[in-house]
Structure 1
Amino acid sequence: MKKKIIIYFNRLREHLWFRPFVFCLFSVVAALIAHQADGTRLNDVVPIIKIESIEGLLDILSASMLVISIFAVGSMISAYSAAGRTATPRSFKIVITDDVSQNALSTFIGAFIFSIVATVAMDNGYYNQAGKFILFLITLIFFALVILTFLKWVDNISRLGRLEHTIMQVEAVATKSLSSYIKNPLLNALPITGVFPDGQSVLGDSTGYVQHINMDALQEMAKEMELKIRLNCLPGKFIHENFEIAFVRIGHDADMSKVTQKVNSAIHIGHTRLFDEDPRFGLITLTEIASRALSIGTNDPGTAIQIIGSLERLLFLWNAETENSTETNVLYDCIEVPQISMEDFFDDVFRPISRDGAENIEVMLRLQKAFNSLYTINHTEIKAAAIQYSKYAFNRAELVIKLKHDLDILEKQCL
Structure 2
Amino acid sequence: MRARLLRLAHQLRESYWFVPTVMAVGALLLAAGMVWLDSHHATQWMDRLPWLYAARPDGARSLLSSIGGSMIGVAGTTFSVTIAAVVYASGQYGPRLLSNFMSDRGNQVTLGTFIATFLYSLVVVRTIRSPGEAAGEAAFVPQLAVLVGVLLVLCSIAVLIYFIHHVPSRIHINSVIERIGDSLLKEIDERFPVFVGKALDQRDDDRIPDAFRPDASTTAIERRAGIRAKHTGYIQLIDEDALICAARESKLVLRLQYQSGDFVHRGSILVEAWPGDALEDEAQTALRAAFAIGSRRTGMQDLRFLIDELVEIAARALSPGVNDPFTANSCLDWLGAALSDLARRDLPSRLRADDDGELRVIAHPLTFAGFIDRGFGALAQYASADMIAGKRFLAALGDVALSCGAASRVAILAKQASQFRDLADGALKGSNRDAVLDRADELLRALAQPDYRRRLRDSQAWLGGTA
Class of the TM-score when normalised by the shorter of the 2 chains:
0.7 to 0.9
Pair 1:5–1:244, CA change in 2 (3 A): closer
Equivalent residue for 2:210?
Answer: 197
Mapped contact 2:124–2:146 kept (Cα < 8 A): no
- Answer yes or no: is 1:314 the counterpart of 2:338: yes
- Alignment partners' CA distance in 2, 1:249 and 1:329: 15
Secondary structure at 1:139 match in 2: helix
- Alignment partners' CA distance in 1, 2:5 and 2:281: 28
Q: For residues 129-184 of structure 1, what are the alpha-carbon distances to aligned partners after superposition, in whole Å with 9 as ceiling and x for unaligned?
A: 99823202311220121011111111011223232222222222222223222242
Residues 10-409 of structure 1: matches in 2 within 5 Å?
A: 10-38=10-38, 42=42, 44-47=44-47, 49-50=54-55, 51-123=57-129, 132-184=142-194, 186-191=195-200, 193-194=204-205, 195-199=208-212, 200-202=224-226, 204-205=228-229, 206-240=231-265, 243-250=268-275, 253-255=277-279, 259-318=283-342, 321=345, 334-380=360-406, 382-403=409-430, 405-409=434-438
Pair 1:297–1:137, CA change in 2 (3 A): same
Q: Which amino acid aligns with 1:365?
A: K
Shift of 1:272: 1.4
Number of aligned residue pairs: 408
Q: TM-score of the superposition, structure 2-length normalised?
A: 0.79
Mapped contact 1:35–1:128 kept (Cα < 8 A): no
Secondary structure at 1:274 match in 2: coil
Shift of 1:336: 3.7
- Alignment partners' CA distance in 1, 2:314 and 2:149: 48
Mapped contact 2:197–2:244 kept (Cα < 8 A): no
- Alignment partners' CA distance in 2, 1:261 and 1:92: 33
Shift of 1:234: 1.9
Secondary structure at 1:160 match in 2: helix
Mapped contact 2:85–2:171 kept (Cα < 8 A): yes
Shift of 1:60: 2.1
Shift of 1:301: 0.9
Q: For residues 22-80 of structure 1, what are the alpha-carbon distances to aligned partners after superposition, in whole Å with 9 as ceiling and x for unaligned?
A: 11101111111013324656354342542344323312211111111111111101111
Shift of 1:90: 0.9
Pair 1:173–1:331, CA change in 2 (3 A): farther
Q: Which amino acid aligns with 1:215?
A: E
- Alignment partners' CA distance in 1, 2:2 and 2:264: 26
Pair 1:225–1:407, CA change in 2 (3 A): closer
Equivalent residue for 1:413?
Answer: 442
- Alignment partners' CA distance in 1, 2:90 and 2:271: 36
Pair 1:94–1:70, CA change in 2 (3 A): same
Mapped contact 1:188–1:329 kept (Cα < 8 A): yes
Pair 1:34–1:389, CA change in 2 (3 A): same
Shift of 1:106: 0.8
Pair 1:106–1:392, CA change in 2 (3 A): same
- Alignment partners' CA distance in 1, 2:79 and 2:26: 20
Q: For residues 196-242 of structure 1, what are the alpha-carbon distances to aligned partners after superposition, in whole Å with 9 as ceiling and x for unaligned?
A: 32351525334432111123433332233222223232211233456
Pair 1:26–1:360, CA change in 2 (3 A): same
Pair 1:60–1:44, CA change in 2 (3 A): closer
Pair 1:129–1:23, CA change in 2 (3 A): farther
Mapped contact 1:24–1:110 kept (Cα < 8 A): yes
Mapped contact 1:43–1:129 kept (Cα < 8 A): no
Q: Which amino acid aligns with 1:388?
A: K
Shift of 1:392: 1.4
CA RMSD in angstroms, aligned pairs only: 3.0
Q: Which amino acid aligns with 1:76?
A: T
Shift of 1:92: 0.6
